[in-house]
Structure 1
């Protein structure tokens, strides 16, 4: 038999992502990097290059529904701080504690951008973002 998680618990777990991101005295940040996502959200960024930093809304996500929290305030646009191909993202609270990281794409990823080819000084836009707790 498989482990299954009730919707109420999935929502509580997803809402905890928001609580962690909103920890500290200010808004969380979302950073986009080149390269491969680290093995865990606790690991250093390794050889990845920081391409862009977004300041998130506070709260960072809306209330969970069906185990999913959706990034608040999208679309969000900033100028890229370097040139490269977006490979992954990381969210940190206002005290720079790691919260979560995930995949970047233009559709179907946890974080969707208008393009994954970022150029220094050129605007990049987050079109959508979600964090989903597994059902089982």
Structure 2
């Protein structure tokens, strides 16, 4: 049987994770193409399509086990491709987590107006969340 977690534990775990993005200063997200590596310990794969410099704090406080990305700035694509995943880095460039990218409403951890990125054009980030599972 899998573990189940109460909301206050999920919130504490989520806050601990997203606070790591702010370690060593403002963190960033690399929006990437290709297949996401099996583990965030693995080297990043695919092409960096855009890099998002995050606000500090990068995420709001967790509620019901979910923290929401705060005020992502406008970002310009640096390469052309289809965004499929992201890597979150702390201010020193250390990997914090990897997540999925999708178009708005399609359920990705990071959602974009379109996943088709073009170099030199704005990447419209419509939302981003980190959710700790309840185990239910």
Paired residues for 1:84-123 under 5 Å = 84-106=81-103, 107=105, 108-123=107-122
C-alpha separation between the residues in 1 aligned to 2:3 and 2:26?
A: 35
Could you list the per-position Cα deviations for residues 58-98 of structure 1 after superposition, in whole angstroms to 9, with x for gaps in the alignment? 00000000110000114x32110000110100110010010
The RMSD of aligned alpha carbons is 1.0
Partner residue of 2:52 out of 54, 66, 79? 54
Could you list the per-position Cα deviations for residues 18-55 of structure 1 after superposition, in whole angstroms to 9, with x for gaps in the alignment? 2210100x210011011011111111113x00000000
Residue equivalent to 1:135: 134
Could you tell me the TM-score, scaled by structure 1's length? 0.94
Point out 4+ residue stretches in structure 1 off by more than 4 angstroms: none
Could you tell me the TM-score, scaled by structure 2's length? 0.94
The answer to whether structure 1 residue 71 and structure 2 residue 69 are counterparts is yes
C-alpha separation between the residues in 2 aligned to 1:105 and 1:62?
A: 21
Structure 1 residue 109, shift from structure 2 partner: 0.9
| Structure 1 runs not aligned, ≥5 long | none
